[in-house]
Amino acid sequence: MAETKKVHFIIERQDGPNSQPYTEEFEVDYRPALNVVASLMEIQKNPVTKDGKKTTAVVWECNCLEKVCGACMMVINGKAQQACAALIDHLEQPIRLSASRTFPVVRDLMIDRSVMFESLKRIHGWVDVDGTWEVHNDAPRQNPKTATTAYEISRCMTCGCCMDACPNVNRGSEFIGPAPIAQAHLFNLHPIGEYQKEERLDALMEKGGLASCGNSQNCVQACPKDIKLTEYIAKLNRDTNKQALKSLFNK
Amino acid sequence: MKKKIIVVGGGLSGLMATLKICEAGGEVELFSYCPVKRSHSLCAQGGMNACMDTKGENDSVHEHFDDTVYGGDFLADQTAIKGMCEAAPKLIKMFDRMGVTFTRTPEGLLDLRNFGGQKNKRTLFSGSTTGQQLLYALDEQVRAWEVKGAVKKYEFWEFIKIIKNKESVCRGIVAQDMNSMEIKAFRADTVILATGGPGMVFGRCTASTICNGSAVSAVYQQGALIGNPEFIQIHPTAIPGSDKNRLMSEACRGEGGRVWVYKDGKPWYFLEEMYPAYGNLVPRDVASRAIYDVCVNQKLGINGENKVYLDLSHIPADYLERKLGGILEIYSEFVGDDPRKVPMQIYPSVHYSMGGIWVDAKHNTNIPGLMASGECDYQYHGANRLGANSLLSAAYSGTVSGPEAMRWAKEGERGSELTDEELAKAAKECREEYEAILKMDGSENAHELHHELGEVMNKYVTIERVNKDLDYCFDEVKKILKRWDNIGIGDKSNWANQEGMFARQLRNMIIYALVVTRAARMRDESRGAHYKREFPTRDDERFMKVTVAEYDQATEEPKISYADFDHSLVKPRPRNYAVAKKE
């Protein structure tokens, strides 16, 4: 019988937020359509390293396994991406996995992205509705083209790939990062959301806002949802400039 | 003092309930395994049903109601369904105001498409990621309330169990911080479970890995009744995978997709031939059975394997992009073929649970103070759920459970508040249980055992059910339960210990598997998703009744009984999708 093809992993592990990272190597049986999450699941079933040493299962975060929840983002062969959609056939071996160190590491490949959810508060990331009750009025119509742009941005799954790729997002910087900036544009596009446009632009003119973007254009390359992040950042730059001028003249 | 409601689960239903509670002046402590924005509701693709009647078809709320009752094979509470269908258009308007990016018509109105088991266009959608968009809208609104201080989120906290006071009223929960592993008890005026479905009991399915039904099983073991657990929806069109079966939305067929296999060297559009009135848009149970029959009995699957074609390749690519973009991406990415050019290869998969925690019309469980809403309840879908009714029932149930939780908090006979001692005792019990799990040093691996559970459940308790196989399956699951005692936990860490938590979840999954299997064994008829060749017809006389499962502490098995339900609005009639539906 032919020997089963193996997939070789080198995984950066870390027992806790303040522990030293170390690496462990694993081998997983190859099968067609195998992806990184499925490989980690195989390791869970038999947590033994390549050298036959018993170890603990690797800790990571995943939910949907179809690239829509954003949970399983990690750095795979140097690139931040969704592990569920990272097919082994497309990766060079040995496959190196590590946590996205742009964020605090919780354990192994699991990170703390709460800053991204907090940023959605900073940019007023919602439409102000009076309540969930009936108002006996329809919401305004929307130009289907604008709605298509909004849909593109609203597919952002808060995964953090763009944050990982951005040279200006790091633990020493206050830069809010590409994902929340694009979200501000999303709400500004909505006919009711637009009523809070000024507040959103003001937030982006504060420290750590748009001015901290170095225009490296990495984010747009990294986005797994192909959201045109740089285009929306540029648009918001124009909007904030306009608003700054307006408030200058109104003084 | 403000009323404090604990909501467990931050999917569509939990978030909707949270908003209603905040608007009524209450405070919410929201518990979730994951950031609520990553909840499984976001996997819903095709859309949400609501009678908008904007396509010149004279659609009516009554027609939506009747389609839902008929599609559910007359096993769901009709008054509850009526309320849901009446509320649907209002919910859509609410979502529209919140900024959901619904796909629009050229004149800027909300577009509608066809879906299974319905003749009229009634399904609103956002491309093919409708659940994601609806969930995000509620997530955003809840975040606004969080800023105002009315919501406190406990994300990455796992629900362990409810706490009852001495009057047997639910007055709190015990939960565990999934990072620090701290186990803590919390007081509440009312507790709502909105914890989703039990897909992981079947291992491979279309559900997220977090949909393990563990919370439902935990409260069942504490006395909550389960309704209709045997009704598990098998979605006809998923991409089979070794880690998960990835859903290919019913919207594919709604937008003109055709299902076929080769027969005598020519494409055979078997759904269109078998069911001329509805064609490819028969309800899911009907389509899944047909695919199963074609592959397993007639051996006509693609290359002799259990797969059939789902074909979109005849539809213009730009149309597909606009209506189905997101999921075509999924297929291309995970399979490598372009569904715009070649037919997809799909097979049915476990998808949704119609059954769940038994609730009354207001979503109260039989345990006072404990409510359930969303997929974890059993209320709206009877024996089979229509596509695009799940986002509806999830959102709608939250609009019922939220206000009712506040009413109960103000007026209910809640008895005494939990004392510090009672809280400490409940937390201590859970801590001891957890520590005992960490000490387990047997030879079984929890994940391997879970794999075996999924295999046996998938094999025997899905599309076609046979009584002797169900008996065998029940015994096998009991053996797996016994083997659980012999698990070994390799990870002894006190920080982010996923293995320890998984072992606890697994035991709950096994207990729930017994409920599904036993209930399936006892229902000797065929109705909706529950099909037995030995009993091929619906038996209204014996079984137009809700299955009620009650946990028996001594045997750890369910005791099954049958209860009447409200079917006062339309008389049952035979369900036949080969011909147009008659009233």
Q: At B147, which helix (H) or strand (E)? A: helix B130-147
What does the block give as tokens for B24?
A: 């009524």
Q: Using CB atoms, which residue from B144, B209, B333 is nearest to A67?
A: B333
Q: CB-based burial of residue A243 (10 Å sphere; 0-12 exposed, 13-18 middle, 19+ buried)?
A: middle
- Running DSSP on this structure, what letter comes out for residue B39? S
Distance in Å, alpha carbon of A72 to nearest chain B alpha carbon: 11
Find chain A residues with C-beta within 8 A of B30's C-beta: none
Instruction: Tell me the C-alpha distance between B246 and B235, whole Å.
Output: 10
What is the pLDDT, as a whole number, of residue B163?
98
Q: Is the peptide bond before A140 cis (omega within 30 degrees of 0)?
A: no
Around Cβ B436, how many Cβ atoms within 10 Å? 9
3-state helix, strand, coil in chain B (%, to 5): 40, 20, 40
Beta-carbon contacts of residue A98 (< 8 Å; ≥ 6 apart): A11, A12, A21, A74, A75, A109
Cα torsion A159, A165, A166, A170 to 10°: value is 80
Find chain B residues with C-beta within 8 A of A192's C-beta: 97, 99
CA angle B173, B371, B391 (to 5 degrees): 115
Length of chain A: 251
Mean pLDDT of A234-247: 94
Distance in Å, alpha carbon of A251 to nearest chain B alpha carbon: 30
The answer to whether residues A28 and A43 touch, using CB atoms and an 8 Å cutoff, is yes
Q: 1.10.8.60, 3.10.20.30, 3.50.50.60, 3.30.830.10: which CATH number matches A6-111?
A: 3.10.20.30
Distance in Å, alpha carbon of B70 to nearest chain A alpha carbon: 29
Q: Using CB atoms, which residue from B37, B129, B496 is nearest to A158?
A: B37
Contact: B107, A141; criterion CB under 8 Å: yes
Find where tokens 């797994």 sit. A224
A114-249 has CATH 1.10.1060.10 classification: yes
B148 and chain A: CB distance < 8 Å anywhere?
Answer: no
Amino acid identity of residue B41, one-letter, is S
Find chain A residues with C-beta within 8 A of B105's C-beta: 144
Find chain A residues with C-beta within 8 A of B127's C-beta: 151
Q: At B253, which helix (H) or strand (E)? A: helix B251-254
Alpha carbon distances (Å) from B178 to A59, B33, B269: 12, 8, 49
Instruction: Tell me the C-alpha distance between B329 and B239, whole Å.
Output: 13
B445 and chain A: CB distance < 8 Å anywhere?
Answer: yes
Q: Which residues pair with B52 in a beta bridge?
A: none
Q: What does the longest C-alpha to C-alpha distance in chain A come to?
A: 83
* Cα B414 → chain centroid: 30
Three-class DSSP category at B460:
helix
Distance in Å, alpha carbon of A227 to nearest chain B alpha carbon: 13
Find chain B residues with C-beta within 8 A of A147's C-beta: 101-104, 108
What does the block give as tokens for A73?
A: 């983002």
What is the pLDDT, as a whole number, of residue A2?
61
What does the block give as tokens for A7?
A: 């997939």
Find chain A residues with C-beta within 8 A of B109's C-beta: 141
Closest CA to B8 of B23, B28, B25, B22: B28
Find chain B residues with C-beta within 8 A of A41's C-beta: 243, 447
Residues 19-48 of B with CB under 8 A from A: 19-20, 23, 34-35, 37-40, 42-43
What is the pLDDT, as a whole number, of residue B349?
98
HEC profile for B213-243?
CHHHHHHHCCCCCEECCCCEEEEEEEECCCC
B555 and chain A: CB distance < 8 Å anywhere?
Answer: no
HEC profile for B379-430?
CCCCCCCCCCCHHHHHHHHHHHHHHHHHHHHHHCCCCCCCCHHHHHHHHHHH
CB-side exposure of B434: number of CA atoms within 13 Å?
Answer: 30
Contact: B108, A126; criterion CB under 8 Å: no
Q: CB-based burial of residue B300 (10 Å sphere; 0-12 exposed, 13-18 middle, 19+ buried)?
A: middle
Instruction: Tell me the C-alpha distance between A155 and B136, whole Å.
Output: 9
Three-class DSSP category at B69:
helix
B18 and chain A: CB distance < 8 Å anywhere?
Answer: no
Active-site entry in B171, B284, B340, B527: B284
Cα torsion B277, B279, B285, B288 to 10°: value is 150
What is the pLDDT, as a whole number, of residue A140?
95
Q: At what angle do helices B78-98 and B61-71 cross, to 10 degrees?
A: 120
pLDDT in tens, chain B (583 residues): 899 999 999 999 999 999 999 999 999 999 999 999 999 999 999 999 999 999 999 999 999 999 999 999 999 999 999 999 999 999 999 999 999 999 999 999 999 999 999 999 999 999 999 999 999 999 999 999 999 999 999 999 999 999 999 999 999 999 999 999 999 999 999 999 999 999 999 999 999 999 999 999 999 999 999 999 999 999 999 999 888 999 999 999 999 999 999 999 999 999 999 999 999 999 999 999 999 999 999 999 999 999 999 999 999 999 998 899 788 888 998 898 999 999 999 999 999 999 999 999 999 999 999 999 999 999 999 999 999 999 999 999 999 999 999 999 999 999 999 999 999 999 999 999 999 999 999 999 999 999 999 999 999 999 999 999 999 999 999 999 999 999 999 999 999 999 999 999 999 999 999 999 999 999 999 999 999 999 999 999 999 999 999 999 999 999 999 999 999 999 999 999 999 987 7
HEC profile for chain A?
CCCCCEEEEEEEECCCCCCCCEEEEEEEECCCCCEHHHHHHHHHHCCECCCCCECCCCCCCCCCCCCCCCCCEEEECCEEEECCCCEHHHCCCCEEEECCCCCCEEECCEECCHHHHHHHHHCCCCCCCCCCCCCCCCCCCCCHHHHHHHHHHHCCCCCCHHHHHCCCCCCCCCCCCHHHHHHHHHHHHCCCHHHHHHHHHHHHHCCCCHHHCCCCCHHHHHCCCCCCHHHHHHHHHHHHHHHHHHHHHCC
Instruction: Tell me the C-alpha distance between B456 and B472, whole Å.
Output: 10
Domain pair A6-111 / A114-249, same fold? no
Mean pLDDT of A126-155: 96
Instruction: Tell me the C-alpha distance between B155 and B162, whole Å.
Output: 18
Distance in Å, alpha carbon of A51 to nearest chain B alpha carbon: 17
Q: Domain residues of chain A, as ranges?
A: 6-111, 114-249
B60 and chain A: CB distance < 8 Å anywhere?
Answer: no
Q: Which of A14, A48, A55, A69 is the best residue to mutate to test the B interface, defined by the most B CB atoms within 10 Å of its own CB?
A: A69
- Running DSSP on this structure, what letter comes out for residue B104? B
Three-class DSSP category at B149:
coil
pLDDT at A1 over 70: no
Q: Using CB atoms, which residue from A54, A68, A125 is nearest to B42?
A: A68
Alpha carbon distances (Å) from B34 to A113, A163, B128: 11, 20, 23
Instruction: Tell me the C-alpha distance between B5 and B407, whole Å.
Output: 11
Q: Which of B39, B124, B134, B209 is the best residue to mutate to test the A interface, defined by the most A CB atoms within 10 Å of its own CB?
A: B209
What domains are there in chain B, each with its CATH number? 4-231+354-419 (3.50.50.60), 234-349 (3.90.700.10), 421-544 (1.20.58.100)
Find chain B residues with C-beta within 8 A of A68's C-beta: 42-43, 129, 132, 326
A195 and chain B: CB distance < 8 Å anywhere?
Answer: no
Q: Is B187 a residue of the active site? A: no
A129 and chain B: CB distance < 8 Å anywhere?
Answer: yes
Give just the sign of the alpha carbon dihedral A221, A223, A226, A229: negative
Find where tokens 């005792």 sit. B425
Specify the pTM. 0.98
**Number of cross-chain residue pairs from A and B with Cβ atoms under 8 Å apart:** 183
What is the pLDDT, as a whole number, of residue B278?
97
What is the pLDDT, as a whole number, of residue A3?
72
Q: At B550, which helix (H) or strand (E)? A: strand B546-552
What does the block give as tokens for B225?
A: 């009744």
User: At A247, is the pLDDT very low, low, confident or very high (cuts 50, 70, 90)?
Assistant: confident
Distance in Å, alpha carbon of A81 to nearest chain B alpha carbon: 13
Give A70-105 pLDDT, tens digit per residue.
999 999 999 999 999 999 999 999 999 999 999 999
